[in-house]
Amino acid sequence: QVQLVESGGGVVQPGGSLRLSCAASGFTFGSFGMHWVRQAPGKGLEWVAYIPYDGSNTYYADSVKGRFTISRDNSKNTMHLQMDSLRAEDTTLYYCAKDSGTYASDIWGHGTMVIVSS
């Protein structure tokens, strides 16, 4: 069935780096744009980044621009989020989500938790 599985979360010190992955299955991964969305514990959703189906461009929320890099490997049905210069406020649950093709996200993973703490 259609599925997204995130991995790579963990505990990292402020200023450190972490690379998240999102493995897709059950749909033609290379035909759809993909998003990263995050949610701090007990807080709301925050859109983080988007990459089109072909990886031709990348787009970011102001809060992560210049620190995070979204990428994808369509041959491996995988998307990544490279997170550098991490801050305490980046401590959240990170979801990957499939773009529906209609400016919405119709499939979501279960998330991977990132904790930035010394």
Does residue number 106 form part of the binding site for another protein (CB under 8 A)?
yes
State which of residues 8, 9, 30, 52 lies at the interface with another protein (CB under 8 A). Answer: 52
Q: Closer to another protein at the Cβ: 12 or 38?
A: 38
Does residue number 29 form part of the binding site for another protein (CB under 8 A)?
no
Non-local (6+) Cβ contacts of 62 within 8 A are none
Q: Closer to another protein at the Cβ: 12 or 35?
A: 35
3-class secondary-structure state, position 27: coil
- Which residues from 76-95 bind another protein, rule CB under 8 A? 95
- Which residues from 58-77 bind another protein, rule CB under 8 A? 59-62
Q: How many helices (H) and strands (E) does the chain have?
A: 0, 11
Q: Closer to another protein at the Cβ: 62 or 89?
A: 62
Does residue number 53 form part of the binding site for another protein (CB under 8 A)?
no
Please state whether beta strands 112-116 and 10-12 pair in parallel, antiparallel, or not at all (unpaired).
Answer: parallel
* CA–CA gap between residue 10 and residue 34 (Å, rounded): 22
Burial class (CB in 10 A: 0-12, 13-18, 19+), 62: exposed
Does residue number 40 form part of the binding site for another protein (CB under 8 A)?
no
